[in-house]
Structure 1
């Protein structure tokens, strides 16, 4: 073929492709410039029966191309998990006439349109469809409680930094409902609430809870800076908190102030939902937190302490994660990818301080805190997946797999930077204490790192080198090598040196701690992780098989159901009895159903029931006692 004919053929092909695939509009890159005018967002949250939020936005515009974005990268979720499948009914008008839109074929959270000549405002109407079932996502609206996550209900213009876009938000509530949020209220007329104008980043970071049954507790009476526990419930009975239950929540605020020596909010609002229907959540924000737990938080207080570290964890995030943020989280808007490299600080150290503050405030007893630590140490000491995957690599899990169920979690690993991060920071804390003759501790790091710029809301970003430099100011050591070894290593086992340095060791007995008992009751399961190597639900459904454990080697998987134990219909008590009897040489036979197939498997296991707990190392200093002791 001649060059002329080849060129003609290429040109014809290019023209044909251009006709089929017209040039797409680019998504404008964010520029640090103020958006002209103020957007107005109206949210109607009154459709409780169908669980639909209806939005109307008024957006100042000028004629020509415009790209609007739906938030994709959610800061507290650490990944591109914006619930775009719940966005529906999107329509635009200008000067009373429809304006067509197209979705960007590559950036599917972006919508392109052309503003017609003469138009100065664009009207947008759409809905956010709260999931009707947990299989569709977290339920955010019930007949008694709703949660407005502005980040799920807002569109915003591309080409601008979030802090440069101003929004005035309004909310229509169900009749007579009360609400709580970190946003500043301008006025309320009946059930219509008008909030003061704020920048887009502040709006997105200030969710709202509303409900039929509400109670508020002042956690720092008489203080210039208000801290409030706002509780919403399915029934008024769930709101009945005793003074001795509120007291440790108040102590939490004081212990946090003593630890960090600062605060970074105008006021702080805990948003706590006690519900069987409203979706559970623990999500941090700079001046508030979203928390959803079961109704018995107050009314079943005596049943267990597990879970009470939730509020201390999210509160700590006001300092660690929202005020001090990893440099990779310094992004201009909510559609720019974030770098999760330092989540072992953002979440791992928060996990540590959340547990410590729970103990120091009295939300959790020292014994309960030790039992929780034993459970964490045992779980991560048994993670087979560390053989091929480092804890540093797990910081990318929110991007790769936003908490979807895993078939082999023990082998695949999932967001282990939280609790393994806790164990690493326990190692750091006890190492500082030991090297300094117990004159210094990680408390000194917290004050130096998070206590700067008291009262400021502006985030202060940090790098790995900043963390190392502050540690070296507290206690000189080769912290860079230490941290990299822990983060990039493969074991063997979990990083338990800090536990030993604290004067305790991980042991296994045939009796579960109260913490483990409570976990089994809440999960309606029997945890045999450290004996047979799996967890089994009350109905026999197999969960969480340990890779290369006894059950794994026998061929068991988490898509099976235990039907019988040694020829008797399955009950948890029967399985525990069989494990005990196996120490005497009796076999354990399980009749297992997988789909339509029944088979019997034999488990070669003779070490009895095993549950983790901590035991003092004789002749050592009890540094856990000092770590969990309230600051004076």
Structure 2
């Protein structure tokens, strides 16, 4: 009977639901036609791009661009223009299309309609015909006014023109096949630094025609306060340091400081045994107003540092590997480039599987060349290395995420703030990549009894085709083969072990093979003191597991550190330490007092939003700062690496 009732009930219910089951399910609408793939064919005619960068008060650049309409587009009745999104060196789609505004298209004085692609929002569809041989474009770059809106590129004293932000280009072509004639207008009396060349320079400068590839790769620094310093090396290939600043005093470099920068050029060309530019322009902004940057280009680099870069030389050395890093990229990244990172235009995605070479080895040579050139002393270089080794040895995220996976982070996070940076991991292929290459260098030296080194790899891998501008792509197997040509070893396993597997500790064999070990003491190094001064805060990374600003704000709290376990997070404000108003010294003293008395905890009054809490940290190990300590009876390969050539 029960079974019969159930059958009747199900039959009745099926009568209720059958109309719904008969209703058709939704199906996706087809996507619009894709933007044409780039083809390796010459674009007929030349673009012109004219940028008015004089409105520094409103941070607005006004652009007039002309684009010839190819016969092929006339026949199709449509031309597609692209806004660059995948900017080389950013390793992710960072194009600032949200700042692109006020687009007006005309041809022959008549307005032409345009429509944005609703799938590829960086593509603009423009109807054309035989009566529209040229498109006149007018638009604006509404650049950030404040840092919370993005990187500031216009200030009362400095303008940074990045051509990818102020131009459109035709779809369907390799960008190396598109010719462009650029010009820029800057405030009266300002001077310009750029890898672009012109017959004459002034308030309005018309640069020589170039390819769109080279244009995007050749940004401009223009400044009210400007100094050009010749750094040309013994090979007589012109190299210049173009410095702009918030104020004229920041430009006061001493002869010794200039000589250190000249030494950088000498040491780099000695290392690589080649160059891949016919001139090179360092662009350096000394500023508190322009957005910070370190971005590589083939014949130049964009760099920004604190105003005291020259005038407070002893206090700013932690950032003086920047120019060495970006200069190294002319060889590693711009000339030799991972095959999956080369793209035919600026809207085809790049893949970063070899960023541990592109950025990791550049990070390595940047630090080494800074020491070899005298931009930093050997001891300062060692202190920086100790700090980086300790930081990544204490990186908790390495317990779940292999280093190779962090090469995806430029796309995943795009350098957005992370709540738990050391647990999530970020672009760790930079510094941990550096440690891997130190490991490789010292191992080569050890296996060859000091006869070979990573210098030999650099010359063999990056020093080919002296003078060539043509990108030379590479893949993993070539890296391994070149290492084996320098010193036979199972380099594939060496790299896979460090890249693809979970490792509880950072690769510190480079220190061991180099004749040193990582130790901790209660005395901060000059590197840490300088970093604290530049950041206006307190670095307790290796004790409480946090860093704190001068005002008491927790800038970073490390995963599972004593501060973390006590309930602290980043973005909170420490109001009091052991019942006294917060100061950096009081927090330091509280840590040392707790070390002396195991019954004493570190008591903090913390404000989080509208809430005020008291937390106790049961920590008794005292202040801890990383140092390198020489191991007796071993060969000092590390000093040999940092010694000038």
TM-score (norm 2): 0.94
- Match of 1:82? 95
After superposition, what is the alpha-carbon deviation per residue over 1:353-401, rounded to whole angstroms, capped at 9, x for unaligned?
A: 0000000001110100000000000100110001111111111111111
- Match of 2:158? 145
- Match of 1:3? none
- Match of 1:127? 140
* Structure 2 counterparts to residues 569-608 of structure 1, below 5 A: 569-583=581-595, 584-585=597-598, 586-608=600-622
- Match of 2:48? 40
**How has the CA–CA distance of structure 1 residues 388 and 10 changed in structure 2, closer, same or farther, with 3 Å as cutoff?**
closer
- Match of 2:39? 31
- Match of 1:176? 189
Residue 232, structure 1, aligned to residue 240, structure 2: no
Partner secondary structure for residue 301 of structure 1 = coil
Q: Which moves more between the two structures, 216-225 or 83-92?
A: 216-225
Residue 500, structure 1, aligned to residue 512, structure 2: yes
Residue 432, structure 1, aligned to residue 444, structure 2: yes
Partner secondary structure for residue 314 of structure 2 = helix
* Structure 2 counterparts to residues 355-370 of structure 1, below 5 A: 355-370=367-382
* Structure 2 counterparts to residues 6-21 of structure 1, below 5 A: none
- Match of 2:269? 257
Q: Could you list the runs of 5+ residues in structure 2 that have no partner in the other structure?
A: 1-22
Residue 558, structure 1, aligned to residue 566, structure 2: no
> Aligned equivalents of 2:548 and 2:515: distance in 1?
33
Residue 162, structure 1, aligned to residue 175, structure 2: yes
After superposition, what is the alpha-carbon deviation per residue over 1:257-297, rounded to whole angstroms, capped at 9, x for unaligned?
A: 11000000010000011111111111000000001111111
After superposition, what is the alpha-carbon deviation per residue over 1:476-520, rounded to whole angstroms, capped at 9, x for unaligned?
A: 000001101001122221110111110111111101000001111
Q: Given the alignment, which residue of 84, 87, 93 partners 2:106?
A: 93
- Match of 1:418? 430
Contact 1:550 1:604 in 2 (8 A): yes
Partner secondary structure for residue 399 of structure 1 = helix
Contact 1:264 1:319 in 2 (8 A): yes
> Aligned equivalents of 1:71 and 1:456: distance in 2?
26
Deviation at 1:10, TM superposition (A): 8.2
Q: Which moves more between the two structures, 411-420 or 54-63?
A: 54-63
> Aligned equivalents of 1:322 and 1:206: distance in 2?
12
**How has the CA–CA distance of structure 1 residues 163 and 608 changed in structure 2, closer, same or farther, with 3 Å as cutoff?**
same
Residue 65, structure 1, aligned to residue 73, structure 2: no
Q: Given the alignment, which residue of 198, 214, 222 partners 2:226?
A: 214
Q: Given the alignment, which residue of 331, 334, 338 partners 1:326?
A: 338
> Aligned equivalents of 1:255 and 1:587: distance in 2?
51
> Aligned equivalents of 1:243 and 1:437: distance in 2?
39
> Aligned equivalents of 2:364 and 2:508: distance in 1?
14
Residue 613, structure 1, aligned to residue 621, structure 2: no
Deviation at 1:224, TM superposition (A): 3.1
Q: Which moves more between the two structures, 615-624 or 441-450?
A: 615-624
> Aligned equivalents of 2:369 and 2:133: distance in 1?
52
After superposition, what is the alpha-carbon deviation per residue over 1:196-241, rounded to whole angstroms, capped at 9, x for unaligned?
A: 1111101110111111111111112675310001111111111111
> Aligned equivalents of 1:135 and 1:543: distance in 2?
17
- Match of 2:466? 454
Contact 1:68 1:111 in 2 (8 A): yes
Deviation at 1:165, TM superposition (A): 0.8
After superposition, what is the alpha-carbon deviation per residue over 1:5-32, rounded to whole angstroms, capped at 9, x for unaligned?
A: xxxx989x99xx9xxx797343111111
Residue 546, structure 1, aligned to residue 558, structure 2: yes
- Match of 1:354? 366
Contact 2:274 2:467 in 1 (8 A): yes
Contact 2:309 2:316 in 1 (8 A): no
Q: Which moves more between the two structures, 88-97 or 413-422?
A: 88-97
Q: Given the alignment, which residue of 247, 269, 274 partners 2:259?
A: 247
> Aligned equivalents of 2:171 and 2:633: distance in 1?
63
**How has the CA–CA distance of structure 1 residues 614 and 118 changed in structure 2, closer, same or farther, with 3 Å as cutoff?**
same
**How has the CA–CA distance of structure 1 residues 394 and 23 changed in structure 2, closer, same or farther, with 3 Å as cutoff?**
closer
Partner secondary structure for residue 473 of structure 2 = strand
Partner secondary structure for residue 259 of structure 1 = helix
Deviation at 1:134, TM superposition (A): 0.4
Q: Could you list the runs of 5+ residues in structure 1 that have no partner in the other structure?
A: 1-8
- Match of 2:15? none
> Aligned equivalents of 1:127 and 1:559: distance in 2?
36
After superposition, what is the alpha-carbon deviation per residue over 1:161-204, rounded to whole angstroms, capped at 9, x for unaligned?
A: 1111111101112111110111121344x522111111110111
* Count of matched residue positions in the alignment of Structure 1 and Structure 2: 620
Moved over 2 A (4+): 21-26, 221-224
Contact 2:233 2:266 in 1 (8 A): no
> Aligned equivalents of 1:166 and 1:493: distance in 2?
50
Contact 1:74 1:81 in 2 (8 A): yes
Contact 1:304 1:515 in 2 (8 A): no
Residue 512, structure 1, aligned to residue 524, structure 2: yes
Partner secondary structure for residue 302 of structure 1 = coil
Pair member with larger Rg: 2
After superposition, what is the alpha-carbon deviation per residue over 1:568-613, rounded to whole angstroms, capped at 9, x for unaligned?
A: 1111111111111111222111111111111111111110000111
Deviation at 1:302, TM superposition (A): 2.4
> Aligned equivalents of 1:227 and 1:525: distance in 2?
37
Contact 1:351 1:419 in 2 (8 A): yes
Q: Given the alignment, which residue of 255, 278, 303 partners 2:290?
A: 278
